[in-house]
Amino acid sequence: MRRFVIALTAASLVGLTMASAAEARLSRVQTVVLVKTAQKFRAADTDRSRQLSQAEFTTAGGNANHFDAIDANDNGEIGFFELLRAFVWRIRQR
């Protein structure tokens, strides 16, 4: 019984460590995506309006054919969270 409890405890600790490692990795990926999106958005938003016009988007290398899909609220501009959602969606498609 004692060996069983020790084995179960060890297995639980290994499982927790693996879960923690996976969570830590996910957290790092989320942070990288968030920081890179913020950097790209800031660089593309040349008039500092906190919105990307279609011209700003394409000048920064965005595909004009994707603009309308990323502009989720159809206001003719891309906000930071619209761009972030597009990046997350793209990552999930890989």
| Chain residues in the site for Ca ion (CB under 5 A) | 71, 73, 75, 77
Annotate the chain with three-state secondary structure: CHHHHHHHHHHHHHHHHHHHHHHHHHHHHHHHHHHHHHHHHHHHCCCCCCCECHHHHHHCCCCHHHHHHHCCCCCCCECHHHHHHHHHHHHHHC
Closest distance to Ca ion from the beta carbon of 6 (Å): 57
Closest distance to Ca ion from the beta carbon of 47 (Å): 15
Closest distance to Ca ion from the beta carbon of 44 (Å): 14
Q: Which is nearer to Ca ion, 50 or 90 (CB)?
A: 50
Q: Which is nearer to Ca ion, 39 or 73 (CB)?
A: 73
Q: Which is nearer to Ca ion, 74 or 93 (CB)?
A: 74
